A and B are shown apart, each in its own frame.
Chain A
Amino acid sequence: MLSNIRSIQSALLFLTALFISLSVLGILQGPADISLTAVMTILKQSLFTPASSDIPNWQSSIILDVRLPRMIIALFAGASLALCGLVMQGMFRNPLASPSVLGVSSGASLGAVTAIYLGASLISAWAIPLFAFIGAGISLSIVYRVASTRGQTNIATLLLSGVAMSALNVAATSLLLALSLSNWDVARMIIYWTMGGLDGRTWDHVLIILPIVVSGFILLLFYSKQLDLLLLGEQHALSVGVDVRRTRRNLLIISTAMVGASVSVVGGIGFIGLVVPHILRLILGPSHRYLLPACLLGGAVTLLGADLFLNSFFAEQAIPLGVVTAALGAPFFLFLLIKQRFILS
């Protein structure tokens, strides 16, 4: 683990460099071959006055309407999942906590599917994220209520209630899909939404995810000290002046909003929220002053990296993004369980 500030700073710098270089790669990579200079010109043109140039129209629309929103969404969805995982691990004082493990992601999915089923998604683009937020919030508060008594959170109860909540959410989602099959238009929308991923994402999606993740991150920065103190337990935090109940509630709202936003845009992508904060904590130590920006960058880099990996090596197979993150994350989760066995028993 890095202990002095200089090495922590260089780790953050490294993440930033990775962030930038993957972003460049993300915009260059794709089935259509568009050169870096062409990309630069297109970006310049869209930012400033659209002067006439020799760049074909199809190229600029691929960059501006396909690759750029896709990349931005990948970055912010990854960042949001990692930040939420970090906050939940801190709040529950357990490295196994994360949006997918605690059933928050599936709650958000259920909310989103409900919005489509009820037809609310046709009225406003914000209906899906709003319902996803509500679904995630209900799931998280149930899991939290069940697992914690008098401020103590039992690890086994927490994980098991997350499992039960996920099962319930998945069942309810399937039920809604089954009920909607009589109305093919709705069923088609639900199925399309459930596939998730980054394909066909537009600037509308960027407008949902970007403001929520950016403002969520800024709000979380205000809580970095409280998050540190919560790591040591409720009594400890209370005795040095943290209003634990209020802090928990606010952190819950912020992280649920972020999960809701990312799930409504890219669907349930598991394990980023589990793995990224854990690895970064091992490297940077427990202080949230560094972990928050590191998770923002680390989550962004991981999801974009996974997407680039899929597009470069498995472009024809159309493997869903969630499969890659789960393939990497699930074994890691098992590894953490083995490590924790000593604590649990």
Chain B
Amino acid sequence: MSPLSCSNLCFSYDRKPLLTDIHLKFEAGQFVGLIGANGAGKSTLLQLLLGLIKQQSGKISLNGSEIHSQKRREIAKQLAFVPQSIELPYAFTTQALVAMGRNPYLGPFELETEEDTEHINSAMAETDILHLKDRFVNTLSGGEKQRVIIARALAQQAPTILLDEPIASLDICHQIETLELIKSLSQNGKLAITALHDLNLAAAYCDRLILIGKNTDHQGTSIVADGTPEQVLNHENLARYFSIQTDIIKTNNTISLANIKPFHPKQAG
């Protein structure tokens, strides 16, 4: 059974259609990249899949039943989330913040058990923040904060993890490390769905890309391509949905984009 899927999903903001007729099915062990131009609705789709916002029509099923009929605690055991930008103005320690990932497993007065502490520590080790354990999160750098949030999601021990631009505020080294980490999670059987802006990194790490683009009638957006990076990132899609003209270089199993130039159909036509 697919851990997460949706059908006929439609969502509009203030009566303006944004996402229309989305059908998706995800399998455990996949590393899925959501790509698309700004405003295409990548974040919105992630929030819909998490049940954070409610669709106008259509169905999202998590482990076979509609997500909005399930309790938040139960959903949190299945889905972990790394939001796009997170302000952390309060002085929680790194450890305390990562420990919040264990919330779905603990009652109101329960303290963490040894098992919880183990998950917390291994999440911090995997994201390389053990040395920040006792630091206050409001004093950390943007990249460090991002890794703390990812660690919190890992501590949640959910089989599916959704990430909204997890590498946007990281330097190149931590970008690669974070993607490697997500890759290894998916290789260990987790489903990872990530909104990404960098097409080269998306092509290099994801085994499935989902492209969200404008409908032909300009009424909202929908899934316009879904497949391997090679299938999705072709000249036509890149020109039409990203307005770029580029060389596509194939090496071994991956493709990469080089020599990227803006492409305006009107001037060209």
Interface stretch, picked from A191-199, A229-237, A259-267, is A229-237
**Residue interface bits B63-92, CB-to-A below 8 A is 1, else 0:** 000000001111111011101001111111
* A-side contacts of B77, CB under 8 Å: 241
Query: Main SS of the interface on chain A?
Result: loop
The count of chain A contact residues (Cβ–Cβ below 8 Å) is: 27
Give the residue of B72, B80, B81 whose beta carbon is less than 8 angstroms from that of A242: B72
Q: How far is the CA of A1 from the CA of B83 in the complex (A)?
A: 28
Beyond the given A225-B106, A233-B86, please list 15 additional residue pairs across the A-B interface where CB-CB is below 8 A.
Answer: A150-B53, A222-B108, A222-B109, A232-B88, A232-B90, A233-B83, A235-B81, A235-B83, A238-B51, A239-B80, A240-B101, A241-B73, A241-B103, A243-B73, A287-B92
Residue of B nearest to A343 (CB): B89
**Residue interface bits B107-137, CB-to-A below 8 A is 1, else 0:** 0110000000000000000000000001000
Residue of A nearest to B110 (CB): A225
Q: Does B152 contact A (CB under 8 A)?
A: yes
Contact of A232 with B156 in the complex, beta carbons under 8 Å: no
- 28 CB contacts below 8 A, A to B, read A93-B89, A150-B53, A222-B108, A223-B108, A225-B103, A225-B108, A231-B90, A232-B86, A232-B88, A232-B90, A236-B86, A238-B51, A238-B52, A238-B72, A239-B50, A239-B52, A239-B153, A240-B100, A240-B103, A240-B104, A241-B72, A241-B75, A241-B77, A241-B103, A242-B103, A243-B71, A243-B73, A287-B96
Q: How far is the CB of A242 from chain B (nearest CB, A)?
A: 6
Q: How far is the CA of A238 from the CA of B88 in the complex (A)?
A: 16
Contact of A236 with B92 in the complex, beta carbons under 8 Å: no
Q: How far is the CA of A180 from the CA of B103 in the complex (A)?
A: 54
Residue of B nearest to A286 (CB): B90
Q: Does B93 contact A (CB under 8 A)?
A: yes
Give the residue of B50, B72, B91, B101 whose beta carbon is less than 8 angstroms from that of A286: B91
* A-side contacts of B80, CB under 8 Å: 239
Q: How far is the CA of A231 from the CA of B93 in the complex (A)?
A: 14
Q: How far is the CA of A225 from the CA of B96 in the complex (A)?
A: 11
* A-side contacts of B97, CB under 8 Å: 232
10 pairs of A and B residues whose beta carbons are closest in the complex = A241-B76, A239-B81, A241-B104, A241-B73, A286-B90, A243-B72, A240-B103, A222-B108, A235-B83, A241-B72
Give the residue of B52, B73, B91 whose beta carbon is less than 8 angstroms from that of A1: B91
Contact of A240 with B71 in the complex, beta carbons under 8 Å: no
Which residues of A232-291 have CB atoms within 8 Å of chain B's CB atoms?
A: 232-233, 235-236, 238-244, 285-287
Q: Does A52 contact B (CB under 8 A)?
A: no
Contact of B103 with A229 in the complex, beta carbons under 8 Å: yes
Q: How far is the CA of A232 from the CA of B86 in the complex (A)?
A: 8
Q: How far is the CA of A1 from the CA of B47 in the complex (A)?
A: 36
Q: How far is the CB of B79 from chain A (nearest CB, A)?
A: 7
